[in-house]
């Protein structure tokens, strides 16, 4: 079988965001560095395209290491043709640079959600963040030809076509890259750096000859190789004049006869075996070669000028054999000893089985050991799909030959992977195929039933079906197919995510996420630790444990890197949403609005947490009573889905948001009609229940409000903001009945809980009955007189301008003019960087993305 590009499958994470270190004896090429400097300065998109062996990555890596500006690096794998995986990689690459920046202009890049499900949202948010940079940032995409169709669509395609001026792209790859970018290159032909520029010239051959001490005359080397860098190095290293062969034949015979044969026997064998794996660590090299000194031998290969690069990541050292050289070594070993080549792949798979199951699967496939590939996929799939490599696993499973590819369990795994990728229709088709295959057999294959229940947690939309599947998986937790902590963490994370969408049992939800967090920490799965911590903060807030949510958010803020503002590093969606949720109940409506917009602009899609943020934004705007805030919220309301999906109750959220906005606009009859229609079905949704009951209460229908809240408590009795609402409403009912003692007991109990959890919003109301009750309760006697007094402080007609500092208002006034940023700086007597800093703060506080939007908002 053709190689599945194991090298990238097994160690892409080691090398993904950095170029290789310069090897001993490396030849600097200042001619190319200057050419790249000039091209990047003149063009927003630079294309470096040539066949393999032209030193593209090496040349661009040299330039990136010495470039004075900010450079982000992203090396693509064969699996990055999937647009969502590619978008995740782009965001992560930009953030890896943003974390190293001293200034604050890159802070908004850290707020982007690397796992955002909506590329259009991510593009919008990224453009907004990049526009705020004080100097351009360069993103190098190495092996960009692997992006395939994503060069014409998805996030990368959008950045190529219409990216912000502050982002420069350097796309490095094979000649097919030029075809994919033909329209761009036709318009800007000098934005291309091709093979003629990358080929060695005579001075470079002479310089390389001095390093390698080659014996052939430079003119002979140039005439025989045409300056093709890898061929030049091979000829100088081998010291023999090539035959008349060209291309792969030349390389194959030259590598075999003049490079490998010139090495000592043990080293020759070591190179053949390890280069056949592509990317290796010292441990993996030892496993496939049987040499305990493999690390030292790899370093010796670098010293000798063989075609291997070293990557030091801080935590580990990785080595990458040049793909052209590795391909020749595999071909040589296959011709000389095919059984040994299969054994290399088997040994590599066994070595990687525990720590890198994806790489192990790829090696099993290359070895033709398809049963082992399937068993590894079945045992480890969940940890991979919950992680960043769902697309890679799908492609490996699709590469299996029949009948393995038609195994209903493999089809279910592919369905889950496709759903995570965002291809819901493909996932549905694969799921149907899996069920049909399973039904066609006499008995389902081993493990099918549990895998089916797990797949339901990914694929089903109906809340009752998700609840049934969740109960099935929980009941079989002891039968989970893997003993690996990473996979256990993924299982409990998936169960927690299902409970987040169901919102039926807050204690179970927090318990499941807590187990997932402990397992992920023990397994060293940093990405899952971060994601689970975010979800825990949001789950605590949603469950009414607002004091605990505040504590968790403070922990996240303390762990954020220097230079970022609170929540931004972890605010892919969950943390910012949790911060907004806490701010809403604290009645800090400006902060709530800011955090909800941060969630939306961070790239979280409208069918996930972005939709929840839009729902809460509408309630925040309604609570503020500001016309401009309600207009902004109404625009975002349109993006909330109209039908239930993935267990989210979107119709209920939409109806509640509409009812709240109608009441705030003075259309109480419309609001009450919606509330009466929606309330009976909302009692399992505590936030919705509180909002609709409040509308009914303020309309004078206290019995309906009380009934709604009692039903809500029957489902979820421990949620603080639901209990506060129920207690205060019950107090009003007893007041109307003339039972003053019970009325004030309930009112004090409501205040006890509100003060403990910081639920001020419930008492910051214009409801005359509740305000009278609070006034009477202070006279009756309360431990919380200061809290109640704070609830009576008049809010007044708040303008968005109130959130701006005096200097920010001055800058905003100048933004209304036609002056440029430089001219504004002159008028105000400050630096242009100060103007841009204030401009960023203004946009963030107003929830807008551009100067035009800010002016339109305030017009």
**Is 831 inside a domain boundary?**
yes
Summarize pLDDT for 603-653 with one digit per residue, the tens. Answer: 566 667 888 999 999 999 999 998 889 999 999 999 888 887 766 788 999
* pLDDT attached to residue 492: 92
At residue 80, does pLDDT exceed 80? Answer: no
Residue labelled with tokens 């509409």? 658
Average pLDDT, the chain: 84
**Is 13 inside a domain boundary?**
yes
Domain identity same for 377 and 444: yes
Instruction: Kindly report the backbone phi and psi dihedral angles of residue 111, in degrees, each rounded to the nearest multiple of 5, phi listed first.
Output: -85, -10
What is the token pair recorded at 819?
């002056």
**Is 516 inside a domain boundary?**
no
Q: Who's near 813: CB < 8 A, 6+ residues apart? A: none
* pLDDT attached to residue 242: 53
At residue 557, does pLDDT exceed 70? Answer: no
* pLDDT: which is higher, 602 or 582: 582
**Is 815 inside a domain boundary?**
yes
Domain end point (choices 361, 392, 420): 361
* pLDDT attached to residue 857: 66
Q: What is the residue-wise DSSP string for 168-198?
A: EEEEEE-THHHHHTHHHHHH-GGGEE-HHHH
Domain identity same for 315 and 409: no
Q: Is residue 241 very low, low, confident or very high in pLDDT (cuts 50, 70, 90)?
A: low
Q: Which letter does DSSP use for residue 401 in this model?
A: P
Which among 588, 631, 639 has a CA at the least distance from the CA of 613?
A: 639
Give me the CATH number covering residue 806. 1.10.10.10
The answer to whether the Cα torsion of 17, 21, 27, 31 is positive or negative is positive
Domain identity same for 191 and 231: no
Asked if residue 234 lies in contact with residue 255, where contact means CB atoms within 8 angstroms, the answer is yes
As for how many domains the chain has, the answer is 4
Q: Who's near 103: CB < 8 A, 6+ residues apart? A: 134, 563
Residue 388 CA to residue 390 CA, distance in Å, equals 6
At residue 433, does pLDDT exceed 90? Answer: yes
* pLDDT: which is higher, 561 or 580: 580
* pLDDT attached to residue 263: 85
> Which of 114-128, 305-319, 403-417, 438-452 reaches the highest mean pLDDT?
403-417
Domain end point (choices 139, 171, 197): 197
* pLDDT attached to residue 818: 72
Which among 59, 74, 64 has a CA at the least distance from the CA of 199?
A: 59
Region of 282 on the Ramachandran plot (φ > 0 left; ψ -120 to 50 alpha; else beta): alpha
Summarize pLDDT for 619-630 with one digit per residue, the tens. Answer: 999 999 988 899
Find the angle CA(616)-CA(130)-CA(188) to the nearest 5 degrees: 135
* pLDDT attached to residue 563: 32
Q: Which letter does DSSP use for residue 255 in this model?
A: I
* pLDDT attached to residue 274: 96
Could you give the C-alpha distances from 360 to 54, 85, 364, 393, 399, in angstroms and in order? 30, 20, 6, 11, 14
SS3 per-residue string spanning 528-569: HHHHHHHHHHHHHHHCCCHHHHHHHHHHHHHHCCCCCCCCCC
Domain identity same for 59 and 117: yes
**Is 688 inside a domain boundary?**
no
Residue 111 CA to residue 695 CA, distance in Å, equals 35
Asked if residue 102 lies in contact with residue 56, where contact means CB atoms within 8 angstroms, the answer is no
Domain identity same for 193 and 207: no
* pLDDT attached to residue 39: 95
**Is 738 inside a domain boundary?**
no
**Is 697 inside a domain boundary?**
no
Domain identity same for 185 and 211: no
Residue 122 CA to residue 610 CA, distance in Å, equals 11
* pLDDT attached to residue 287: 96
Domain identity same for 166 and 27: yes
At residue 559, does pLDDT exceed 60? Answer: no
Residue 72 CA to residue 170 CA, distance in Å, equals 10
Asked if residue 50 lies in contact with residue 181, where contact means CB atoms within 8 angstroms, the answer is no
Q: Which letter does DSSP use for residue 23 in this model?
A: P
Question: Strand 317-321 vs strand 279-280: parallel, antiparallel, or unpaired?
Answer: antiparallel
pTM higher than 0.85 for the full model? no
Percentage of the chain beyond pLDDT 70 is 88
**Lowest-pLDDT range of 3-12, 91-100, 382-391, 551-560:** 3-12
Summarize pLDDT for 368-415 with one digit per residue, the tens. Answer: 999 999 999 999 999 899 887 888 899 999 999 999 999 999 999 999
Q: Is residue 10 very low, low, confident or very high in pLDDT (cuts 50, 70, 90)?
A: very low
Residue labelled with tokens 């922990």? 555
844 is in which domain, residue-wise? 802-858
Give bridge partners of residue 173 from the DSSP assignment.
49
Domain identity same for 90 and 136: yes
* pLDDT attached to residue 11: 44
Which among 285, 327, 314 has a CA at the least distance from the CA of 302?
A: 285
Residue 527 CA to residue 570 CA, distance in Å, equals 10
Domain identity same for 331 and 394: no
At residue 481, does pLDDT exceed 60? Answer: no
Residue 184 CA to residue 181 CA, distance in Å, equals 5
Domain identity same for 310 and 455: no
* pLDDT attached to residue 846: 75
Q: Is residue 799 very low, low, confident or very high in pLDDT (cuts 50, 70, 90)?
A: low
Domain identity same for 184 and 211: no
Q: Is 259 exposed, middle or buried (0-12, 13-18, 19+ CB in 10 A)?
A: buried
- State in Å, rounded, how far the first CA of the chain is from the last one: 65
Residue 78 CA to residue 174 CA, distance in Å, equals 13
At residue 116, does pLDDT exceed 60? Answer: no
Residue 806 CA to residue 99 CA, distance in Å, equals 30
Which among 318, 232, 230 has a CA at the least distance from the CA of 277?
A: 318
Domain identity same for 181 and 211: no
> Which of 190-199, 563-572, 791-800, 849-858 reaches the highest mean pLDDT?
190-199
**Is 52 inside a domain boundary?**
yes
Summarize pLDDT for 301-321 with one digit per residue, the tens. Answer: 888 878 888 887 666 788 989
Question: Strand 167-173 vs strand 317-321: parallel, antiparallel, or unpaired?
Answer: unpaired
Q: Is residue 427 very low, low, confident or very high in pLDDT (cuts 50, 70, 90)?
A: very high
Give me the CATH number covering residue 11. 3.40.50.300
CA 515 to chain centre: 22
Q: Who's near 73: CB < 8 A, 6+ residues apart? A: 17, 18, 19, 64, 93, 139, 140, 142
* pLDDT: which is higher, 677 or 14: 677
Asked if residue 592 lies in contact with residue 613, where contact means CB atoms within 8 angstroms, the answer is no
Summarize pLDDT for 760-781 with one digit per residue, the tens. Answer: 999 988 788 998 999 999 999 9
At residue 831, does pLDDT exceed 90? Answer: no
Domain end point (choices 177, 197, 217): 197
């Amino acid at each position: 079988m053709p190689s599945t590009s194991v090298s990238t499958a097994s160690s892409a994470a080691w090398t993904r965001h950095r170029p290789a270190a310069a090897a001993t004896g490396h030849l600097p090429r200042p001619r190319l560095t200057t050419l790249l400097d000039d091209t990047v300065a003149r063009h927003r998109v630079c294309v470096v395209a040539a066949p393999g062996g032209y030193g593209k990555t090496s040349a661009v890596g040299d330039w990136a290491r010495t470039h004075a500006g900010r450079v982000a690096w992203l090396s693509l794998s064969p699996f990055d043709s999937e647009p969502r995986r590619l978008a995740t990689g782009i965001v992560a690459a930009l953030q890896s640079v943003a974390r190293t920046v001293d200034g604050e202009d890159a802070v908004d890049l850290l707020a982007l959600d690397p796992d955002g499900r909506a590329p259009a949202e991510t593009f919008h948010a990224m453009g907004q963040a990049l526009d705020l940079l004080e100097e351009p940032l360069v993103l190098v995409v190495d092996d960009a030809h692997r992006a395939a169709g994503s060069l014409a669509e998805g996030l990368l395609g959008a950045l190529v076509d219409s990216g912000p001026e502050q982002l420069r792209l350097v796309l490095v790859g094979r000649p097919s890259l030029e075809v994919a970018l033909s329209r761009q290159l036709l318009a800007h032909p000098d934005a291309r750096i091709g093979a003629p520029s990358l080929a060695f010239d005579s001075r470079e051959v002479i310089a390389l000859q001095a390093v390698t001490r080659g014996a052939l005359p430079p003119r002979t080397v140039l005439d025989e190789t045409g300056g093709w860098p890898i061929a030049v190095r091979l000829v100088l290293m081998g010291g023999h004049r090539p035959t008349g062969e060209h291309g792969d034949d030349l390389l194959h015979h030259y590598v075999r006869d003049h490079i490998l044969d010139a090495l000592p026997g043990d080293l020759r064998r070591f190179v053949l075996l390890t280069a056949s794996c592509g990317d290796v660590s010292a441990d993996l090299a030892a496993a496939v070669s049987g040499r305990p000194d493999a690390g030292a031998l790899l370093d010796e290969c670098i010293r000798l000028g063989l075609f291997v690069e070293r990557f030091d990541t801080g935590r580990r050292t990785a080595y990458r054999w040049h793909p052209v050289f590795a391909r020749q070594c595999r071909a040589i070993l296959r011709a000389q000893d095919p059984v040994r080549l299969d054994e290399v792949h088997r040994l590599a798979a066994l070595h990687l089985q525990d720590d890198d199951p994806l790489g192990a699967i790829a090696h099993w496939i290359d070895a033709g050991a398809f049963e082992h590939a399937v068993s590894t996929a079945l045992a480890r799939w969940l940890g991979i799909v919950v992680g960043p490599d769902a697309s890679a696993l799908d492609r490996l499973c699709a590469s299996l030959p029949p009948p393995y590819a038609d195994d209903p369990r493999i089809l279910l795994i592919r369905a889950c992977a496709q759903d995570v990728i965002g291809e819901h229709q493909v996932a549905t088709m694969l799921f149907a195929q899996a069920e049909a295959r399973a039904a066609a057999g006499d008995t389902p294959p081993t493990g099918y039933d549990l895998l089916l229940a797990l797949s339901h947690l990914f694929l089903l939309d109906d809340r009752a079906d998700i609840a049934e599947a969740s109960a099935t998986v929980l009941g079989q937790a002891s039968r989970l197919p893997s003993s690996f902590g990473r996979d256990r963490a993924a299982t409990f994370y998936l169960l927690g995510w299902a409970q987040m969408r169901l919102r039926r049992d807050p204690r179970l939800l927090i318990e499941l996420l807590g187990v997932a967090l402990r397992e992920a920490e023990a397994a060293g799965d940093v990405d899952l630790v971060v994601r689970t911590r975010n979800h825990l903060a949001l789950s605590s807030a949603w469950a009414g444990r607002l004091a605990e949510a505040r504590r968790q958010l403070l922990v996240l803020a303390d762990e954020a890197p220097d230079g970022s503002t609170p929540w931004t590093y972890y605010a892919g969606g969950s943390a910012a949403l949790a911060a907004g949720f806490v701010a809403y109940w604290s009645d800090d409506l400006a902060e709530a609005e800011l955090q909800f917009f941060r969630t939306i602009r961070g790239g979280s899609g409208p069918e996930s947490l972005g939709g929840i943020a839009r729902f809460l934004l509408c309630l925040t705007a309604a609570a503020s009573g500001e016309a401009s805030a309600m207009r902004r919220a109404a625009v975002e309301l349109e993006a909330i889905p109209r039908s239930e999906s993935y267990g989210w109750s979107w119709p209920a959220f939409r109806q509640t948001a509409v009812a709240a906005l109608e009441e705030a606009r003075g259309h109480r009859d419309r609001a009450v009609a919606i509330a009466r229609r929606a309330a009976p079905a909302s009692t399992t949704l505590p936030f919705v229940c509180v909002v609709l009951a409040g509308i009914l209460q303020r309309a004078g229908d206290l019995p309906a409000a009380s009934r709604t809240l009692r039903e809500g408590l029957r489902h979820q009795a421990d949620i603080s903001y639901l209990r506060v609402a129920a207690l205060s409403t019950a107090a009003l009912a007893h007041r109307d009945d003339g039972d003053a003692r019970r009325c004030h007991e309930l009112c004090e109990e409501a205040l006890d809980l509100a003060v403990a959890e910081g639920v001020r919003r419930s008492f910051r109301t214009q409801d005359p009955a509740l305000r009278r009750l609070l006034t009477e309760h202070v006279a009756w006697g309360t431990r919380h007189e200061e809290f109640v007094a704070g609830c009576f402080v008049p809010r007044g007609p708040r303008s968005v301008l109130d959130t701006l500092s005096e200097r920010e208002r001055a800058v905003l006034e100048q933004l209304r003019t036609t002056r440029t940023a430089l001219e504004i700086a002159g008028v105000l007597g400050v630096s242009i960087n100060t103007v841009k800093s204030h401009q960023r703060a203004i946009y963030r506080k107003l929830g807008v993305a551009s100067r035009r939007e800010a002016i339109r908002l305030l017009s």
